[in-house]
Amino acid sequence: MENRRITLVTNVSLNTLLTPVDGRERAAVLFIAGIAETTDSIELFCPRVYKPREDDYHARYPWLCVLKADALIANVLEPLGQEQGIVHIHDHGTGPARFSEIDDRGLDDKLMTTRTRRPGAWFVRGVLGGDGVTLEAYPPESMAPVPVDFVKTITASHGLIWTRTLNSRRAEADAPRVDAEIYQRTIAALGGDPERVLGALACTRVGIVGVGGIGSVVAQLLPHLGIRTLTLVDDDRVERSNRNRWVLYKTGAEGEPKVIAARERLLEAHPDVQVEGIVAEFPSTEAEAALKKCDVVICCPDNNWTRYWAERFAARHMKVSLSMGSGIDVGPGGLHAIGAQLRAFVPMAGGRCAVCQGMDISNLSPPAVERLHRQTGYTVARSVVTINSAIASVAAGWLFAWFSGRERAMPTYLEYDEIAFSIRNLGQVFEPQSGCHICGAGPACMVGRGDEADDCGDLLTSPEIAEAVHGTLD
């Protein structure tokens, strides 16, 4: 554990979370809903926060307020039983972000109280100061702290904000350098704080599930925006028939896995970009292990089965999700519709999943069944490069606008119509579903559950969902 990067993932800026009043320090508690572990990293997901009201405190010292016992029990200790741990953070104002002797004397009591209420819980303590933030984590059953290296803040309209802790074990060299010459026109377009935006883009790892007609365009666009690390997931192979829509097509690549062929083409154009190719279907253990390292997951398959499981994964692991699809409807009399859709889901910021935004899950079929249907003529897959490129560009534009931190609400459902040549924002059409098993507010909600909910065969808590999925498999 000592060598793994530890990141605290939250939806509130720690710098604005605490406000000293009358010169006295204040504290807040973030609840750890879930943990995700890989071979080189640990993420602690904190989608819920308790910021005490003034009447929850009493002034114990001239410089410090502490929580009243009843407020502590009702708002921290009782909810702790349903969580994986807590983060206790307090403010030193303009002073240094260093733990004091009083903090150290009270540490054992906090550890024992936390683990008595929730055996196996994590405890993280932190202090804000004029010079930054210091965070240290106490893993379950351990009395030895491990430094938290980063805080990743995810908001609905301000993108990802990375904060390196003062006690981070990671060197500054870990952050990729932004080449001002390459991105000079991007910098001019951003205004405001371009270094922050480009720095955040450079530090962000994007996973693309499905590197076909849409996914290949997305993969081609993102390095131009400043994304420096890509993970491509697909188990399909290049076919000659892909040439009409697969923009990374190269003669002679037929039969190669798409992710391998795509990686080769991308590195030809961007040798400084890291591209990982995972030849696997999604969901699968191998694909999920790779995508857990990503910050954004862009889902571009040709079936709702994969999109559905990708939304579950995004909710569990607090990944920003962009889910896309395109289609052409031909019937009696000719062309009826040609277009594409983009659904955006930011689970950490209380966003709505694709299911809550109208994704049809009434007849889910695994990709292998979909391919068999097409091969036997049961269904006809219609696609052209224009609609794929259009919706991929919309997705890249959404991501760029989100990282730019524009002071407006980001759209969550966009529909591209190539007959009318229009883009409609339909996000307001759908009401939040509090009982949704993916993004709802109930106990079965997957948001921030991390590795606890990794089994793809369980948590189908809605009878309608279970019937739709299992009915297709029978």
Predicted confidence (pLDDT) per residue in 347-373, tens digit: 988 889 999 999 988 777 676 656 555
What's the half-sphere exposure (Cβ side, CA atoms, 13 Å) at 250?
15
Q: Long-range contacts for 402-408 (Cβ within 8 Å, ≥24 apart)?
A: 402/157, 402/158, 402/159, 402/320, 403/159, 403/160, 403/197, 403/200, 403/201, 403/204, 404/159, 404/190, 404/192, 404/197, 405/157, 405/158, 405/159, 405/192, 405/197, 406/157, 407/157, 408/157
Beta-bridged to residue 423, according to DSSP, are: 416
Amino acid at 85: G
Find, among 93, 88, 92, 48, the residue nearest to 72 by Cα: 88
What pLDDT band is residue 20 in, cutting at 50, 70 and 90? low
Instruction: Round to whole Å and give the CA distance between 227 and 206.
Output: 8
- Cβ-based neighbour number of residue 51 at 10 Å: 15
What pLDDT band is residue 171 in, cutting at 50, 70 and 90? low
Find, among 207, 206, 199, the residue nearest to 162 by Cα: 199
For the cut 70, the answer to whether the pLDDT of residue 2 exceeds it is no
Read off the tokens for 331. Answer: 């019937």
Instruction: Report the Cα 5 to chain-centroid distance in Å.
Output: 17
- pLDDT at res. 469: 42
Return the CA Rg of the chain: 24
CATH of domain 5-173: 3.40.140
Q: Tell me which H or E stretch contains 296.
A: strand 296-299
Instruction: Round to whole Å and give the CA distance between 130 and 128.
Output: 7
What pLDDT band is residue 454 in, cutting at 50, 70 and 90? low
What is the pTM (predicted TM-score) of this model? 0.89
- pLDDT at res. 231: 99
What pLDDT band is residue 173 in, cutting at 50, 70 and 90? very low
> What architecture is the 184-473 domain classified under in CATH?
3-Layer(aba) Sandwich (3.40)
For the cut 50, the answer to whether the pLDDT of residue 464 exceeds it is no
- pLDDT at res. 459: 37
Q: Show me where the domains of the chain are located.
A: 5-173, 184-473
